[in-house]
């Protein structure tokens, strides 16, 4: 029994690392879709994700879950779809303007934003260490704002949209695959309309930049869905605390890509700001790991439990 459990854990760990590794390398994929503008890329991403997820749900015979969804659940799915659209769009835009380091900042901060939402919306109580982590993160935003001459709006919008999306996902009564399918189907008609408008206006890039470009636009769907499916498989095999810790792989790879590959500017003040964010995350993670060992603490109602929702 022990050997089997260890084998399952290793497989789950590998799936989790694979999912977050793909997300971490997203800044390498979206520039391949140039010269498509960010809005066209977003439209294709949503459209082909909807097509793929509809096929996956058909194979899994999961349409019954969507048919059983009531009005309140449908409205929650629609709201979640709106926030993940903002998140995906800002991500693609950030990559297009070479602000990958700020994208990484947003995803580093998203677990802390989830904690804050737990306090504001769910009336959850924080422990002292969690308040300290939030205070340090707030100081980091101030430092980065001073360094940049303005708040890091891109990172803040990414963190806020992702945090609210996670909060909404906690209340959607659907399995992960059905939930993503529902969200993409809500957005699919708008995405299709956008693709048609781009084509009719002559500003679209489909059929005008070679077959490889068209294939890459279609691959935006699998690039979105595959890591989510890997993550879903990992979530069934490894503990929530392990899964939450793996989340930091994504912004770390994005940060390294921005600094080492894109050569984005990192003055001393920016290093200080990121250093404060990392200290806050270390405190938050240590607190999470320490209290997760207590049998009196559940995972579903904990502040920060929305970190199970994944970056996109």
Q: What is the pLDDT of residues 83-134, one digit of tens each?
A: 999 999 999 999 999 999 999 999 999 888 888 888 888 787 888 888 898 8
Residue 4: the pLDDT is 41
Q: Got the DSSP string for 249-265?
A: HHHHHHHHIIIIIS---
The pTM assigned to this predicted structure is 0.86
Please tell me the distance from the alpha carbon of residue 89 to that of residue 100, in angstroms, as a whole number. 14
Lowest mean pLDDT among 115-124, 165-174, 263-272, 295-304: 295-304
Asked if 111 and 247 count as a contact pair (C-beta separation under 8 A), the reply is: yes
Q: Mutual orientation of helices 249-256 and 100-120 as an angle, nearest 10°?
A: 150
Residue 241: the pLDDT is 66
Residue 170: the pLDDT is 80
Please tell me the distance from the alpha carbon of residue 136 to that of residue 131, in angstroms, as a whole number. 9
CA distances from 210 to 203, 207, 217 (A): 15, 6, 11
Asked if 12 and 234 count as a contact pair (C-beta separation under 8 A), the reply is: yes
- pLDDT tens by residue, 19-75: 999 999 999 999 999 999 999 999 999 999 999 999 999 998 989 989 988 898 999
């Amino acid at each position: 029994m022990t050997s089997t459990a260890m084998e399952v854990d290793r497989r789950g760990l590998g799936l989790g690392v694979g999912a977050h590794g793909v997300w971490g390398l997203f800044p390498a994929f979206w520039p391949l879709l140039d010269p498509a503008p960010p809005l066209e890329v977003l439209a294709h991403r949503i459209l082909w994700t909807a097509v793929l997820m509809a096929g996956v749900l058909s194979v899994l015979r999961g349409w019954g879950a969507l048919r059983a969804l009531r009005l309140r659940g449908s409205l929650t799915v629609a709201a979640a779809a709106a926030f993940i659209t903002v998140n995906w769009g800002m991500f693609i835009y950030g990559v297009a303007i070479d602000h990958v380091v700020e994208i990484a900042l947003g995803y580093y901060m998203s677990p802390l934003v989830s904690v804050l939402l737990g306090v504001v919306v769910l009336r959850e109580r924080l422990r002292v260490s969690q308040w300290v982590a939030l205070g340090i993160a707030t100081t980091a935003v101030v430092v980065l704002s001073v360094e940049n001459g303005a708040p890091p709006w891109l990172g803040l919008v990414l963190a806020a949209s992702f945090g609210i999306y996670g909060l909404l996902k906690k209340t959607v009564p659907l399995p992960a695959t059905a939930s993503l399918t529902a969200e993409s189907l809500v957005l699919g008609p708008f995405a299709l309309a956008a693709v048609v408008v781009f084509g009719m206006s002559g500003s679209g890039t489909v059929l005008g930049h070679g077959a490889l470009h068209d294939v890459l636009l279609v691959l935006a769907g699998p690039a979105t869905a595959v890591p989510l499916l890997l993550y879903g498989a990992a979530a069934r095999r490894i503990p929530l605390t392990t899964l939450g810790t793996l989340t930091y792989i994504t912004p770390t790879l994005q940060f390294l890509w921005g600094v080492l590959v894109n050569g984005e500017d990192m003055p001393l003040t920016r290093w200080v700001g990121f250093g404060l964010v990392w200290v806050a995350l270390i405190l938050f993670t240590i607190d999470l790991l320490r209290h997760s060992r207590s049998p009196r603490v559940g995972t579903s109602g904990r502040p920060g439990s929305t970190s199970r929702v994944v970056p996109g």
